[in-house]
């Protein structure tokens, strides 16, 4: 039997995070408990060892999603898919500098996330 892909959702909007968990679970993925801060995302990656992180660029706390993703990728080599409602050039350039698996602009449809995940694990 094939191992389920485990996903960490780092999203500070609780309703959005819960909806993503529900949608991804219904598609057959395993999800970690969602987190709302970059600091917690790093701790959760260390503890739960997800296969991929779905990361909002803007998070609660002192660390944004880009900083958290940079640390997660450098320490754990786990791919990151960014989600953002802010697609200005400065943010996109900063996000692209850490070589994410994908950057999705909100509003995001679940099939876009699934396509990004399938691209990583093909």
For 45-96, how does the pLDDT look when each residue is reduced to its tens digit (9 = 90+)? 999 999 999 999 999 999 999 999 999 999 999 999 999 987 788 888 889 8
Q: Are 113 and 54 in contact (CB under 8 A)?
A: yes
Assess if CATH 3.40.50.2300 describes domain 6-120. Answer: yes
Write down the domain spans for the chain.
6-120
Question: pTM of the prediction?
Answer: 0.95
């Amino acid at each position: 039997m094939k191992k389920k892909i485990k996903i960490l959702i780092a999203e500070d909007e609780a309703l959005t995070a819960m909806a993503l968990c529900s949608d991804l679970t219904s598609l057959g993925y395993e999800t970690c408990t969602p987190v709302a801060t970059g600091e917690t995302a790093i701790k959760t990656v260390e503890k739960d060892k997800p296969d991929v992180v779905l990361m909002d660029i803007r998070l609660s706390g002192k660390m944004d999603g880009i900083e958290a993703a940079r640390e997660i990728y450098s320490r754990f080599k786990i791919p990151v898919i960014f989600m953002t409602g802010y697609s200005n050039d400065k943010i996109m350039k900063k996000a692209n500098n850490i070589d994410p698996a994908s950057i999705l602009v909100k509003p995001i449809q679940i099939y876009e996330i699934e396509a990004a995940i399938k691209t990583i694990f093909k």
